[in-house]
Amino acid sequence: MNRNKEISIDGSYGEGGGQIVRTACALSAITGVPCRIYNIRKNRKNPGLGHQHVLGLRALARLCGGTLSGDRQGSTEITLAAGGLGASSLDVEIMTAGSITLLLQTLLLPAFLSRGTVRISFHGGATDTFFSPVIDYHRFVFSNILARIGLKSATEITRRGFYPRGGAEVGVEVTPGSVSNWRCTERGRLRKILILSGAADILKARRVAERQAEAAEKALGFGPGTQVESIVEYFPSLSAGSTITVVGDFENTAIGSDSLGRPGKRAEAVGEEAALAFIKEFNSGACLDAHATDQVLPYLSLAEGESLFNTSRISKHTATNIWVIGQFIDRRIDLDPRGAGTFIRIS
């Protein structure tokens, strides 16, 4: 690929949201191919870049020594020309309840391919918020999968952040590595089911975290032959909020689901919602759940050799990421629907 030739990406393609910006700019940073994205979030209620998109892009530009233009809230066009991956630390100040895990989707891949260990510190923002993976899904599912392809990181949570005030304090240490190809068509033995249920300290008297966990375990319905471990926590937080993640830890992979509390929603309903979503993924028999699939594709597209795995379903995010990857990297990605899921081959 010609590293001097700028790639233009239509930001309204497919899912048409912030994911195109996150994936395209991460790939631009690691390939060194300049990137222009236009029509950003064109069909959304509030078109253009949001606050957290701008923060992610600016942090990425620092990480890759890049030149960035159009990085302002409401902008529908940006350009990024990467320099070289070399920053050893990033401090990201988030003044809203912006999602830390979505910011990580922009920063993690380039950080893994940097020359040395990268420490990313988030001050503010939300660890657990709507329309994004919660931090425990990131820690226990997605990071688990990344470790299996040679990429290791550690996440330290000093303070949780919930909507609307955010206020989280999170540090992520990323160890540089090279991406290995991955073949996973069988989950292997189920080692355990892990239920991580937590809530802000202010909700402790109402036993919100315990009630979520109890409802989830009941709805899951696993018998005595399956190890089910529940971890219940309360956190200092600026806003009242609750979160629950259900993880299936298998010999060859991990899958998961999550749910969040909100005003007027009973803790039991939150726990049951996470459990039912998990059962749907569990019953598919797939090695990756739908949420991990779109996230892992950019990584595996960089690995030498063929990767093959099955997923529970092809989401709009996954289909869009396949298209974005094809703009930067000359890899073939084939989809083969079989039974309850779809096999994905990267060659």
Q: Could you give the residue numbers annotated as active site?
A: 317
Contact 128, 135 (CB under 8 A): yes
**Quick one: tokens of 334?**
């084939």
How would you classify residue 116: left for phi > 0, otherwise alpha for psi between -120 and 50, otherwise beta? beta
What are the strands of the beta sheet with 89-99, ordered from one edge? 89-99, 118-126, 169-174, 153-159
Nearest CA among 10, 7, 56 for reference residue 32: 7
Contact 217, 279 (CB under 8 A): no
Q: How far apart are CA 33 and CA 125, in angstroms?
A: 30
Task: Give the list of residues 6+ apart from residue 225 with CB closer than 8 angstroms, or none.
Answer: none
**Quick one: tokens of 6?**
């700028």
Nearest CA among 321, 246, 320, 244 for reference residue 280: 246
Cα end-to-end span (Å), the chain: 17
Beta pairing, strands 89-99 & 118-126: parallel
